[in-house]
Chain A
Amino acid sequence: QKEVEQNSGPLSVPEGAIASLNCTYSDRGSQSFFWYRQYSGKSPELIMSIYSNGDKEDGRFTAQLNKASQYVSLLIRDSQPSDSATYLCAVGLTGGGNKLTFGTGTQLKVEL
């Protein structure tokens, strides 16, 4: 079992729709959760962090965390073609020097 699992996609959504990206993790000691966006050929860019159960909103992005289910998700509202990228879920253990374990990423395509 992989430590952090994501559906590789591609996930295709029409412009203006809500994109829903999901991630599960195996280590119950995980304390910090991040979503990174990565455009082709570029390095990952942090877009959301979440540490507590529930929802966290930032602009068009909402991160959701459920530690009991070991599940974290990212919702992108009003999806734009510029949101087309690979979204990486990353999970960290407090006290582990914030070493992050990344999933393989979900490719999102926003279609006109």
Chain B
Amino acid sequence: DTGVSQDPRHKITKRGQNVTFRCDPISEHNRLYWYRQTLGQGPEFLTYFQNEAQLEKSRLLSDRFSAERPKGSFSTLEIQRTEQGDSAMYLCATTRGDYGYTFGSGTRLTVV
């Protein structure tokens, strides 16, 4: 247990369905990041929050993706109208500042 909690651990969904993932950060970490990792690749940045403000979104993040962090606590990542190319491990990471991340266990998404 890293202190960063992600739910669910695994999600299998049919193409076209919507899915939502949740991340609960370490309480004193004000920065929260979402990354996506596919097999054989390093994590790719999707978006990040400082407290409740979403400060940057990757060009990888299509209009089907949306993320929120209400009240600067937990965060959710929603994917609408899932496609097979969305199959990946979705990683949440948090940090207090300019330090290395603490990653959660990830949510593995399989779109069938």
State the A residues within 8 Å of B (CB). Answer: 4, 8, 32, 34, 36, 42-46, 49, 88, 90, 92, 94, 97-105
Chain B residues within CB distance 8 Å of chain A: 2, 31, 33, 35, 40-45, 48, 50, 55-56, 89, 91, 95, 97-106
Contact (Cβ within 8 A) A104 B105 = no
Query: Contact check: which of B42, B48, B106 meets A104 at CB < 8 Å?
Result: B42
In the complex, the answer to whether B91 meets A43 with C-beta atoms within 8 Å is: yes
Cβ contacts under 8 Å, B56 to chain A:
97, 99
Q: Say yes or no: A49 contacts B48, CB within 8 Å.
A: no
**Which residues of chain B are near A43, meaning CB under 8 Å?**
2, 89, 91, 103-106
Contact B50 A97 (CB under 8 A): yes
Q: Verify B98–A46 contact, CB threshold 8 A.
A: no
Q: Interface residues of A: mostly helix, strand, loop or mixed?
A: strand
Asked, given contacts A99-B48, A99-B56, whether A46 binds B100 with beta carbons under 8 Å apart, the answer is yes
Question: Which chain A residue shows the least CB distance to B48?
Answer: A97
Known contacts A97-B31, A98-B95, A99-B33; decide if A46 and B40 are in contact (CB<8 Å): no
Q: Which of B95, B98, B104 contacts A94 (CB 8 A)?
A: B98
Distance A88 CA – B100 CA, assembled complex (angstroms)? 12
Complex Cα–Cα for A42 and B43 (A): 12
Instruction: List, in ascending order, chain A residues with CB within 8 A of B100's CB.
Output: 34, 36, 46, 49, 90
